[in-house]
Every structure is written in C-alpha cells, then in structure tokens.
Structure 1
Amino acid sequence: METKNEQQANEIPSKTPNFLYTLFLFIRSDIKTIIIPQLLFALSSCVTSGFTTSASLPTSWHHIPFLFLKVLAWLCTLMLVENITNQRLPGSILEDSLNKPWRPLPSGRITPEAAQHNLLLLVPAAVILGIVVGAYKETTGLIVFIWMYDDLDGANQGIWLRNALQACGIMGFSAGVTAITAGSPAYGITNGATLWMCLNGLVVFTTVHAQDLPDIVGDAARGRRTIPLLYGDGVARFSLAVGVLVWSIASPAFWKLSPVMFLPTVALGATMALMTLLRRTEKSDKVVWKLWCLWIGTMYLLPLAG
C-alpha cells in the first residue's frame, strides 16, 4: 500500500506535462507575433555583428545553436512574464473568454491567484536569466514596460500610449536578442542598431492596430479604446493600409538595398493593404494579422541583404 509521500511523488510526472502545456497556452498567441520574428531579428544581429557590419557568414558555426537556445530561453521567459501579467487581470479574462477562450485562465486550467504566485517566481528568474545571458539592462527595461502596460493600465489609458508601450516592448525584445547575440549595443542616435530598432518601433507604433480589427468584440466588452472603436472601421483600415505601404518601402530604403530587394516587403504590404480595404470580414482580418507578423519578420531579415 502506497504512503502519502509515494502517491505525491507518482503524481509529479503526470502533472508536469499538464503544467508545461499550461505555460505554452500562455504564450501560444505570441509565437507568431514575437518569438519567431525576434528569432529572425537575432539571426540578422548575429550575421551583422549587431547591425554594425555588412552581412557575412560566421567563421565558426559551433556556437550558433547554443546562442539561439539562449535567445529562445530568454524570449520564452520574458513572454511568460508579459502574458501571465496581462492575462491574470479581470479585464483580460473577460476579453479572452470572448476572443481566446482556450487560454489558461478563461478555460479554468489555472486560477488568477496561482498565476500571480507563478509571477512571483518568474520575475526574479527572468532578471537572473538576463544577467546570465548578457541582457540585464534590456531585461529590466522590458519588465518596466510590462509593468506600465499591465499593472499601471497603460494599455487602457489611450490609443497612442498603448501603441507606444507596445512599440517600446517590441524594441525591448529586439534590444535583448541583440545583446545576447552580439553584445549590448552602444545606444545612441548614431548607432546603427539603435536607429534600426527605433525605425522598427515606429513601424509597430503606426501599424500594430492590425491586431485590433479581428478583436473588436472582445475590446468593446472590455471597454478598451482602440483605433477601430474610437475612430471607426474606415479610418483604422485606411491608416493601416497606408502605414504598411509606406514602411514596406522605407525599411529596405534604410539599408540602401537594390530595387529587387524591395519586392518581399512591398508584395506583403500590398497584399495586406488590399485585403484590409477590400475584404472587411473578421476571417480576412485574422489573415491580415498573420500576414503582419510575416511582414515584420521579413523586415527583420532586411539587414542580411545589405
């Protein structure tokens, strides 16, 4: 007959996959929006020595897999911090029950109290990991933006503050993967890495409302003020179409690429613009958001063509 301690020990293996799957569900939506694009950003940083040289193949490849494992571990840890911080809030649970009912909190896989307990462990773990991988400044800066966006309710204080915090957050991720792959940049207005990250921040600031078009129902239920809800569907679509077309040209121009290298971003941008303006359905808007993620990832690879 098993003792109580033996029974608890036998339960651990069965609980572990379930716990890991719960963590995966927290970050599932951001695999396409953050993790994959930032891995592409890391590739560009690695090959261009932190955006300070022209693209060239590394003389030694043996350290590259380990480098990318560090980037992936850092990204997933910070994404868990960001997503658990956001998704544990009452307004987020209400919104997710309408838009993403499979997430851990609305589906009942975990309670808000348990999520907060996990955060108390994750935040110091993220800071320690940032120190270990050489991205301490970037990690602490990113945690500040997460705190402002979620706990200080910056996401609901106005459209432009929300977009600015999202842009700063993505710039923080880019700064972190740059620090891990090529050392912390010498931040300044004359530094190529800084300018590239700032340009990408402007791209996000002016086009990230692509995510709001398919989420109108949940945003309205939460009372969140988004561009489609505040300015109307037409303004949101027109501004998105113009934004992606402008940046599809400006980003490759920043790297002084040949005209043929403009084609990937321009083709994706034109597709997004046409779908946004001509196919005004929730299903189409979800496709546009996925295309936006692909478009951003393509942008991050532009330095390789320089």
Structure 2
Amino acid sequence: YAVASHQTTNLTAKTKVAFADEENDSPEDPQPYGVAAWTEDDAAVLIFDRYDIWKIDPRSGAATNFTSGVGRRDKLVFRYRMPVEKQQFIEPKNNLWLLVQNETNKQWGFYKKNLASAAAPQPVAMGPVGYSTLLQAKHADEFIYTKSSVSQPADLYASRDLRQETKLSSINPQQKDYNWFTAELVHWTTPKGYPATGVLYKPENFDPAKKYPMVAYFYEKLSDGLYKYTAPAPTPSRLDIELFASNGYLVFTPDISYTIGEPGPSAVEFVNSGVESLKKNSWVDGAHIGIQGQSWGGYQVAYLITQTNLYAAAWAAYRLVWVMRYATW
C-alpha cells in the first residue's frame, strides 16, 4: 500500500508460487515465509517463498526470482538477514550472503550474490554443520558467526570469505571428559505410504553388538535441527535428549505430518511406524521403548498409549489443556 497515492499493489500475483507455508497441516491460516529486506529508496523488496527469494518492485509488482529458482530446483531453503547492525536497507551494489539449508540432508551453508547481478547465486560453504546468521564489521568486509553440530559447540569464528576462518572461542572444552552422542537422519515409509524422516541420537560409544533402550520424543517436525548443538540442562517438561543419549539411550525424534482433524491418528501413523522400523535393528531393545512429549506432544502421548502396547513407559507433560483444545484438530 502506497500511503502517498493510496494505491494497493499485489506483490506476489505474478510469481505463481505460494508465499505462505506450503505444508501447513493445522486448521489455521498458513503463516507467511516472511520479508528479507528492502533496497535503497524502496526500489525493491526481497520476499521469501518456501525455497527462494524474490525481488519485487513495490510500485508495479514486477517480480524476479532473485535466487534464479535454484532453491526449488535443488530443495535448498534460501534466507537472508542484513549483516550490519541497524542497517535499514540493502544498497544497490551490496553482496548478499545467503544462509541456506538443504531440505533433504539438513546441512547448512552460504551462497553469495550481488544485488545487481542477474546470475544465479554461487555456493560458498556447505556442510554437516549449523551456521548462525552473519554479523559484519561496520567498516570492513569481515564477518563473525557461530558454527556448530550436535557434537561441536557453537563457537565463534571470523572470516572474510567463509572459506578461510579463524576460530575465536572454545566454549565447552570439558565436553571431552564425557561420553557425548551422535545424530543421524533415518527414513522409513508409513503404513499409508508416506515417506517419513526423523533423527536418531546414539551414545558416542555406541556398539552395534549391544542392545540399547530407546525413547521417542516428538513435537511436530524436529529434523531441521539435526546439526543443532544443545548442552545437557534441566528442562521444565521436554525430554533432555542430550542427557539420555549420552547415558546409554537411543533417542528418536520422528517428524509428524498431520491430517487436519486427525492429530492422534497422524501421530500413530508416523511415530509408531518409525519406532517399528527402528526395532528391526538388532541393537534396539524392543522390550524397553518409551515415549515422551510435552504440551501438543503430551496430548499425542496420551493418545498413543490408548492405541498400542508398543511402549514400556510413557511421559506426557502439560497434556490436559491440549487434549481439550486439540482433540478435534
């Protein structure tokens, strides 16, 4: 909406793609992917779709796929945040460092593209780690950022090009004195034929010749956090994955896709089938499997234990209010 002219322009009509959650599986309006930033003099606005970034003229609605469709083509999620504190707009000749996550393997990295360029963005760094957004020096092309994995603390790094970097911190050296844990993606097919994904956490000293008890913890979709570092710490209601995994448990976090109006059956479809799939491994102690969920996940725990005898133990936190609110989702 232009205040001066009182004109309204539809910015996304010409793109033929959705700019709100394509995978929305709740009985609410899908949430928008968001706005990245404006360019100088409001010449253009950068807006996210599920994968790509669009550069759109706010006056005419003329739209260009700024990331050249690379995101949707390669299942890469491009996002951008201005790296200079209190920066109000992108200048015409700025290089944009685009934070990227591979939707398939969950790896993170950066691509680079100049605002004025018509070429596709170029990869700079990509790997089995998680990156923070960049923070740029005010008067130099130097960045600081954190980089981490499930076993690598989010230490601070400095770099000009994200290829050669200097490590500035070592925030958790005592970790070497403890049995830590690993994380890996697992895939299976549900009874109705849906492809499914989850994360399996194992003790660092995992031995495939042994049997391990397993706990399934779930809350919607968690696999994007495959490379997130979290130190063991008390929690008010959710499973402390780090504590359990480092102390001899397998921890499984299945992603759940919901059928609207059927949250309980949806949990059965994805959680139980994922657990059954993992039980086929000789190192899973099928007699000692538990489930845990809190809030929305607590409701699903309460539902799941009425549908199966698969679990030896169940822990549902903050479940009653959610049973009343979401029983008809």
* TM-score bucket of the superposed structures, by smaller chain: under 0.3
Which structure would you say has the larger Rg? 2
More strand by share: 2
The TM-score normalised by the length of structure 2 is 0.25
TM-score (norm 1): 0.26
